Structure 1
């Protein structure tokens, strides 16, 4: 029965191939990182996606913090990003004293509105941080053209973007730098946490290796380039353990199969819910021409905010763990005094209030997908849903 089902929002990816690699790493001679599995993962990313350099990190947050160090963010600099993102996107640069400059998102993709970017650029702007929401790309041609025009960096927050692309280019490969997340909620995980710093600007590679090794030239030492290593620059502890890399390697071996499995689930939702969208009941994710998504998120947007509340209650009361997503950063207490919003935040506020994420993970049972769809249909066929929609209409004068 639908009413007694239990559908979790997410299940951390586990293929069964991770065990042997993790055990191998545990019995190896290098647990602290930069061992065989770390190198295997990094080389895989460089080969598959054409990155000039890929460096494993303990998290995507760490990757963004490294990027802030690499471009020498200092107090007084301004960093442009959407408000509709996770706190790490802002934290990485606020920690260096930068002012965060928010711009509104597009209604169709929830990505940064590229047409509003130029208004936010000033002589203090150091970088633009496009966030590829749900693994659907921002309009990177426009962003890169603006960056070149004004001489500023582009650092892609592609935390949700592994295996997605823009005009044939992997997300993360387009800006000067990029980042991936391997948190347990992402399409691929390195055992709970994990990340990747992607470096496309070759001039940043040598310093990145030093910053990653606590400010030392230990990487050069391990390569036999110097006799002993020393403290050369500021840095941090940005190396993941070898066990994290080994866990991830068990998934990279099946990356394409995993990606297509998630896309299949995403396509079922899209097809089965399309009729409700045509009726004007909900909005579904939009994938612009030239973008290939990775099925990281499937969401619906309701007509009104309070309708989303009723629908969420309906799903949860029937055993479906659907969730809201980001609370826009410009509304958060931590943003006060360190950020400003350029222009209006019409879509950031109104669209995020109506967005509900549906369960999706690799290996999810298709019957569960259809049950979620049926529950949504039942909600909109119910008397309560009709009353909600009626109440949302403008009052007659």
Structure 2
């Protein structure tokens, strides 16, 4: 038995919707299925304005520009995050400022944010790691006090909430991912939620349409579409949107199945607190995007991973903290103690988690995870 780390969820409708596009519609963007996806997201998650993109990376780049971050500005973000977060900041020649994360959630630490705010701070980028909300209400208060924007990187968070509000809808902008590693996928894909009424939606449309007024042209409000400003080719094809729409229709089912597995894993690891100091707690507002365990000791972490992988269970680490990479060291804040972050990519282990896991596979995983805990706790 070989158990993979992840398998893409498949509904029974992707082929039907994709064939509908191929048979009856244009396969370029902004068509019928793009409209269907946008209306679904607006209705289900109460989002004001949405633009679909070909990646979450692109939606982060749009958010940074729409927040009017420019050269010389600073954006605070957790060091434990994906490269796209920092790259979106560098794309406008601004400076990424790496904050610490909380031990309990691995989300951005509030006290770290407060210490890092300067007169140059233009925005805070918040990552909801694993589909569990950061302390977004407190972050919004801080941002309001200092008149700075909040960008939610909700790449992990489709179908996840904070106090009943969908993640990505609370800050000024939300960036969503539909990459193949996410709960709901179009292979490659993303979306930007524009939540603040103070954002120029027309400018967002121009940026989204290669710097042109194409939306006005398509709506019959102008005879020609022309170059109006900065833009890029952010728009995904109808084939991707047809695939995505089929998956979105099952988002509640997918979330429910993933949370069932999280609950089982959570019960398994609770008794091993002498080995672990943090794990993804069961949270009814989470979307079950991932389940991680965090070892107190590096040797035990390595021994555990080797044991479980030898049992044909694909267990993986995650991001290398950005401040500790060769490229990212120049942005490290020497007055912060990054002790926890320095160990994350070595001591964190993510377990297989996807709806296609069978009961027998889950039972096998749990048995060998338990055996792995016992094995790695022996004297080395």
- 1:276 is paired with a residue whose SS is coil
Shift of 1:338: 4.9
The answer to whether the aligner puts 1:11 opposite 2:11 as a matched pair is no
Of 145, 151, 155 in structure 2, the residue corresponding to residue 149 of structure 1 is 145
| 1:62-81, Cα deviation, whole Å (9 max, x unpaired) | 10011122122222110100
Shift of 1:266: 1.1
Shift of 1:312: 0.6
The answer to whether the aligner puts 1:332 opposite 2:325 as a matched pair is yes
Distance (whole Å) between structure 1 residues aligned to residue 118 and residue 275 of structure 2: 41
Equivalent residues in 2 for 1:46-195 (5 A)? 46-190=42-186, 192-195=187-190
Conservation of the 8 A alpha-carbon contact between 1:119 and 1:342: no
Which residue number in structure 2 is paired with residue 226 of structure 1?
222
The answer to whether the aligner puts 1:365 opposite 2:352 as a matched pair is no
Conservation of the 8 A alpha-carbon contact between 2:17 and 2:243: yes
Distance (whole Å) between structure 2 residues aligned to residue 284 and residue 366 of structure 1: 26
Shift of 1:362: 1.7
Which residue number in structure 1 is paired with residue 379 of structure 2?
387
Query: What is the CA RMSD across the aligned residues, in angstroms?
Result: 1.6
Conservation of the 8 A alpha-carbon contact between 2:293 and 2:349: yes
Distance (whole Å) between structure 2 residues aligned to residue 89 and residue 301 of structure 1: 23
Shift of 1:286: 4.4
Conservation of the 8 A alpha-carbon contact between 2:275 and 2:377: no
- 1:156 is paired with a residue whose SS is strand
Shift of 1:208: 1.0
Of 28, 32, 35 in structure 2, the residue corresponding to residue 36 of structure 1 is 32
Which residue number in structure 2 is paired with residue 200 of structure 1?
195
The answer to whether the aligner puts 1:281 opposite 2:275 as a matched pair is yes
| Structure 2: segments with no counterpart, 5+ residues | none
Shift of 1:175: 0.2
Distance (whole Å) between structure 1 residues aligned to residue 324 and residue 219 of structure 2: 48
The answer to whether the aligner puts 1:313 opposite 2:309 as a matched pair is no
Structure 2 vs 1, CA of residues 342 and 55 (structure 1 numbering), >3 Å: closer, same or farther?
A: farther
- 1:233 is paired with a residue whose SS is coil
Distance (whole Å) between structure 2 residues aligned to residue 103 and residue 221 of structure 1: 43
Conservation of the 8 A alpha-carbon contact between 2:76 and 2:124: yes
- 1:208 is paired with a residue whose SS is helix
The answer to whether the aligner puts 1:239 opposite 2:235 as a matched pair is yes
Structure 2 vs 1, CA of residues 367 and 260 (structure 1 numbering), >3 Å: closer, same or farther?
A: same
Distance (whole Å) between structure 1 residues aligned to residue 217 and residue 332 of structure 2: 41
Conservation of the 8 A alpha-carbon contact between 2:9 and 2:184: yes
| 1:299-356, Cα deviation, whole Å (9 max, x unpaired) | 1112201211111111111101110001000011222445546622122223443110
Which residue number in structure 2 is paired with residue 394 of structure 1?
none
Using the size of structure 1 for normalisation, the TM-score is: 0.92
Which residue number in structure 2 is paired with residue 20 of structure 1?
16
Which residue number in structure 2 is paired with residue 215 of structure 1?
211
Distance (whole Å) between structure 2 residues aligned to residue 38 and residue 125 of structure 1: 35
| Structure 1: segments with no counterpart, 5+ residues | 389-397
Which residue number in structure 2 is paired with residue 393 of structure 1?
none
Distance (whole Å) between structure 2 residues aligned to residue 21 and residue 144 of structure 1: 39
Using the size of structure 2 for normalisation, the TM-score is: 0.96
Distance (whole Å) between structure 1 residues aligned to residue 333 and residue 240 of structure 2: 37
Distance (whole Å) between structure 2 residues aligned to residue 307 and residue 314 of structure 1: 10
Distance (whole Å) between structure 2 residues aligned to residue 118 and residue 14 of structure 1: 43
Distance (whole Å) between structure 1 residues aligned to residue 257 and residue 235 of structure 2: 31
Segments of 4+ moved more than 3 angstroms: 286-289, 336-342
Distance (whole Å) between structure 2 residues aligned to residue 339 and residue 42 of structure 1: 38
Which residue number in structure 1 is paired with residue 340 of structure 2?
347
Moved more, 343-352 or 97-106: 343-352
